[in-house]
Amino acid sequence: MNLEPVEFLKNALMIPSPSGNERAVAEYLVEGMEQMGLDAWVDEADNARAEFGEGPLQIALLGHIDTFPGEVPVRIEDDSLYGRGAVDAKGSFVSFIFAVASLLPEVGERMTIHLVGATEEEALSSKGARYAAPQIQPDFVIIGEPSGWDGITLGYKGRLLIKARREKDQFHSAHHEPNAAEELISYYNSIKAWSEAMNVGMRPFDQVQYTLRDFRVMPDGMKQVAELLFDLRLPTRLPPEEAIRHLLNYAPPTLNLDFSGREVPYLGPKDTHVTRALRIAIRQTGGSPVFKLKTGTSDMNVLAPHWQVPMVAYGPGDSTLDHTPHEHIKISDYLKAIEVLRIALSRLALG
């Protein structure tokens, strides 16, 4: 096994790991972490786990090792490493591994670092993060997600998935009455109008985003059946339960609504021990730190209610490449992120 950072990440990208099928890449990562001298194992959720140090300060570094579906041929072109997961988010977790493996022994005397390569982040289950949540009681948390090597992500929007269904008796198309599909379209348009009214004067992170995911009409003999699936990305002022209250108010009693994927929005403070350590480390590595807010969701949303401690997301890569056929990470940025993390973790431990 090649333990050089670029080759190690490249080999990890060559192991397919869509949500629910992460075992092979977890075993690869664990083997590498063991060779780097870390106490490593694959847990019951197929997370790639490791620990470093025995000190009292508890640090959780959690990034996901599953990927969005679709294949991006793994290759290196100039300063770019292509592959599904290069940005989202194997690149972030592997940068955690190399940063921790490079720490001096005295860091381990003052802190214990818990590495978690989490499974099923790209699925609604967030299986890996939910499994790890009760097992670790961290003082500080860094979530492995692309922020750019000089960026620090403070928050993610929440999420809510809505499936609307309408069944009604069949009638002739010449009859002057909205059919099942038209009733769902009318409901969706009312939610769009509500969202847009909520968004007036708001910055993107504070807006309610809506996305139509699926729409289908399913004739069923004597019945009309139509289903519509859409999601909302929620700002901190609108937690899922409050959004559900509005969605129910706009729905006629003839519609059946099902809610899933409830994730609470999260926004952390700018000035904590973690943000200060990362800002200093970014400057020492030659960058100018930038705070970011994300309109998507991550395992930060899942873990924030459990780990109510200073938490940020950090990792190399451009998040606009997430899920795209052009996903790639700049090798120079990936190596800088490893150095930033090494400096930041050392500073947290040694002051």
Are 32 and 177 in a shared domain?
no
Q: Check 22, 46, 66, 183 and give the catalytic one.
A: 66
Domain-terminating residue out of 263, 280, 300: 263
Can you tell me whether residue 150 is helix, strand or coil?
coil
Domain that holds residue 60: 5-156+265-350
Contact 282, 150 (CB under 8 A): yes
Section 284-302 average pLDDT: 96
Which of the residue ranges 152-161, 177-186, 329-338 would you say has the lowest mean pLDDT? 177-186
pLDDT per position as a tens digit, 304-313: 999 999 999 9
pLDDT band at 178 (very low <50, low <70, confident <90, very high): confident
- Is 121 annotated in the active site? yes
What's the CATH number where 72 sits?
Answer: 3.40.630.10
Contact 310, 58 (CB under 8 A): no
pLDDT per position as a tens digit, 224-283: 899 999 999 999 999 999 999 999 999 999 999 999 999 999 999 999 999 999 999 999
- Is 120 annotated in the active site? no
Domain-terminating residue out of 263, 292, 327: 263
C-alpha to C-alpha distance for 4 and 350, rounded to whole angstroms: 27
CA atoms within 13 A on the CB side of 12: 36
Tokens of 233: 């990305």
C-alpha to C-alpha distance for 150 and 290, rounded to whole angstroms: 6
Other CB atoms within 10 Å distance of the CB of residue 76: 14
Q: Check 46, 88, 120, 121 and give the catalytic one.
A: 121
Contact 62, 118 (CB under 8 A): yes
Are 183 and 62 in a shared domain?
no
Quick one: pLDDT at residue 350? 84
Can you tell me whether residue 55 is helix, strand or coil?
coil
Contacts (Cβ under 8 Å, ≥6 apart) of 201: none
Contacts (Cβ under 8 Å, ≥6 apart) of 164: 184, 187, 188, 227, 228, 229, 230, 251, 255, 256, 257
Quick one: pLDDT at residue 175? 66
Single-letter code of the amino acid located at 90 = K
Are 111 and 246 in a shared domain?
no
Domain-terminating residue out of 243, 263, 283: 263
Quick one: pLDDT at residue 160? 97
Whether the pLDDT of residue 173 is over 80: the answer is: no
pLDDT band at 2 (very low <50, low <70, confident <90, very high): low
Whether the pLDDT of residue 220 is over 90: the answer is: no
Contact 81, 135 (CB under 8 A): no
pLDDT per position as a tens digit, 91-103: 999 999 999 999 9
Average pLDDT of the residues of the chain: 96
Are 39 and 135 in a shared domain?
yes
Tokens of 254: 């003839």
Which residue carries 């100039």 as its tokens? 78
**DSSP β-bridge partners for residue 312:** 142
Are 151 and 291 in a shared domain?
yes
Are 36 and 177 in a shared domain?
no
Are 276 and 251 in a shared domain?
no
* Element holding 114 (H helix, E strand): strand 111-118
Tokens of 85: 């997961």
